[in-house]
Amino acid sequence: MATMKFMCDTKRCIECNGCVVACKNENETALEWGIQRRRVVTINDGQPGEASISVACMHCDDAPCMKVCPANVFSKTEDGIVLHDKDRCIGCGYCLYACPFGAPQFPKKSAFGGKGKMDKCTFCAGGPNTEAGSAEEKAKYGANRIAEGKLPMCAELCATKALLAGDAGMVSDIYRERVVGRGHPAAGWEK
C-alpha span between 64 and 100 (Å, rounded): 8
53 binds other proteins (CB under 8 A): yes
CB of 142 to other proteins, least distance (A): 17
- Could you say which DSSP state residue 126 is in? -
Question: Looking at this protein, which amino acid is placed at residue 80?
Answer: G
Residue 20's H or E segment, with its range, is helix 18-26
CB of 148 to other proteins, least distance (A): 25
Could you tell me which stretch among 32-40, 76-84, 133-141, 144-152 binds other proteins (CB under 8 A)? 32-40
3-state helix, strand, coil in the chain (%, to 5): 25, 15, 55
CB of 124 to other proteins, least distance (A): 19
136 binds other proteins (CB under 8 A): no
Q: In the structure, how many helices (H) and strands (E) does the chain have?
A: 6, 6
First vs last C-alpha separation in the chain: 32
List residues near other proteins by CB under 8 A.
5, 10-11, 17, 20, 34-36, 39-45, 49, 51-53, 55, 62, 64, 67-72, 87-88, 90-94, 96-102, 105, 109-113, 168-173, 175-176, 179, 184, 188-189, 191
